[in-house]
Each structure stands twice: as C-alpha cells, then as structure tokens.
Amino acid sequence: MTLELLHKPSMAKLTSLGIGGYARVQAKVRDEAGLDELSRFVEREGSGLLAIGEGSNMLAGDGELNLALVQVARHRKAQAEISGTTVLVPADMRLPGLLSVLIKNGLGGMEGLAGIPGSVGGSIAMNAGSYGTDMQASVKRVRLWTPSKGLFWKDAADLEWGYRHFSLGNDEFFLVWEVEFELSGSTEKEVRAKIKETFEKKKTTQPVTARTAGCVFKNPEGCSAGKLLDDAGFKGRNLGGMGFSEMHANFLENKGDGTAEQALELMSQATEAVAEKFGITLKPEVIILS
C-alpha cells in the first residue's frame, strides 16, 4: 500500500508538545505512486487537510479535531543525495539527520539551524531559522505536490519566503516532497565545530529536552518575544500541567499532564499582559490546531 490510512490518530503522539485529542484520519504517503491515491483522498476528505511532519511546531486542541493529516513517510530510508555542493533531500528526512550528513561531507551554510528537531519538509513550510539564518538561505529549489498540479519543481526565488513564513502564493493545499539545497564547500572539522557551538549555545539558553513546540510566539519586529514575556512576569508561570519555561519564557512546556486548554489560556493571558504593558501584540509562531 503506497498510501497508508490510520483512523483517529492521537495528536499527543504525533506532536513534540504531547498534548491534544484525535484527528479524523492520517494519510502516510509512502512513494510517488501514493500521490495518485492522495489525489483521491484529498477529493474524498475535502476539508481539514493538514500536512504534518515531526509535529514539533504544533499545538493540537483537546478532543476530536476535524483534521485529515497528510504525512510524507517514504518507504526507503530517508537519505540525502549529494553532488558537489548540491544536496537533494526527501521531505521526511529529519533536519538533525541532514546536519549529520553535512558534517560528514564538509558542507557548510546550515550550521545555525542545529537543534531544530523537525523534518526538512516542515522546516521549509515554516522557513525555520535561528541565529541569523533560516532554511531559505540554503534552498535552491523545492519539489512540491498540489492536488491540481501533481509534482513540480519551483526555484526558491519563485516562492514566497519570510520570517517563519513560506507560501506558494495561493491557498491550495501543498506538500513539500523533496528539497535541493546549495551549500558551501567547507571541511568536516569546521562544520562539526560550528554545529557543536550552536547546539551548546541552545542547550544553555533553551529547554531543548523538555516537551515543547519550540518558540510559542514570533519575535515582534526589533524585539524578543522571550524578553517581553519575561518582563511581563510570565517566565516560569504555570497553569495545571503547562507552564512557560523557567529557562526561556517563550517556550511552553508540557510538564506531563498538560492540556491544550491550559496552554491556550496561558498564551491568551500572556498576549493580553504584553499588549497592556508594552502595546505590542504577540503573534503565535506555533501552529494552533482546533
């Protein structure tokens, strides 16, 4: 079967935050033939389509969610194909796995992304980034799938990119299928050292091993959401089993038995307090599924 269907998948199991109820259905696309079946799935399911990767940037609501999840989950072990400084990567390869390949091959440019736990596909869709770089900086072209066009390549320059923003310029459902990166020639030693440095820095400032979805809010233009939350008194603020991290106020942690209701209530209190105190409206970075 090239399109595997699972009914009522648990969002808590599919997301790094580990909270949330059940989606309607989850389709795992195993190979290109599975994309033909996916067209029929899309027609059949109609509403609530949502691509999902590693679920490391998602906050899923409690209870039954009207979602039809689509996940790239190719049969063959996700591997990168390297030709000089060009690297072709399937969307379901994990970003940390890609960085390991880049270390071994002495390819530089993405070292600042160390510590981001998602899939390559999800990281493109979020234009994930840190320490002054993002996915866009190294992408040459992206192979996408849409119900109306099937598979097609788009040059990076013909796509819309921004701060944690990526778009095809329309509202149609899309999947990132594979990505071609253009990197810079370096050495194994140098790439390894830079990645280690980035990761060490993250480990001392962010709760990298806790159950989180990364940063909850986007940084407003010219300031840090973490600092605003800290100054508004939200660092370490808890509600039930959820809480803003003691280490970095812009990370919401599931302490074990957290719920989406608690997470959303904390976010709403924080947004209100920051708006009142600083006149700044925080916008969620995490994708809220309700």
Ligand X SMILES: Cc1cc2nc3c(=O)[nH]c(=O)nc-3n(C[C@H](O)[C@H](O)[C@H](O)COP(=O)(O)OP(=O)(O)OC[C@H]3O[C@@H](n4cnc5c(N)ncnc54)[C@H](O)[C@@H]3O)c2cc1C
Binding site residues, ligand X, CB under 6 A: 16, 50-58, 72, 91, 116-119, 121-123, 125-126, 128-130, 174-176, 208, 212-214, 287
Q: Residue 252: enclosing H or E segment and its boundaries?
A: strand 252-254
Closer CB to ligand X, residue 123 or residue 259?
123
Look up 223 and say whether it is catalytic.
no
Q: Between 19 and 273, name the residue whose CB sits nearer to ligand X.
A: 19
Question: What is the SS3 assignment for 210?
Answer: coil
Q: Per residue, what are the HEC states of 4-59?
A: EEEECCEHHHHCCCCCCCECCEEEEECCHHHHHHHHHHHHHHCCCEEECCCCCCEE
**74, 141, 215, 237: the active-site residue:** 215
Does the active-site annotation cover 215? yes
Which is closer to ligand X, CB of 228 or CB of 273? 228
Residue whose tokens read 């002054």: 132
Reference 6, options 64, 53, 94, 71; nearest CA is: 71
285 given a catalytic annotation = yes
Report, in Å, the least distance between residue 91 CB and ligand X.
Answer: 4
User: Closer to ligand X at the Cβ: 42 or 208?
Assistant: 208
To which H or E segment does residue 176 belong?
A: strand 175-182
30, 74, 164, 237: the catalytic one is 164
179's tokens = 């990505």
- Name the one residue in this structure whose structure tokens are 């959820």: 242
CA distance 224 to 40: 44
Active site positions, annotated: 164, 215, 285
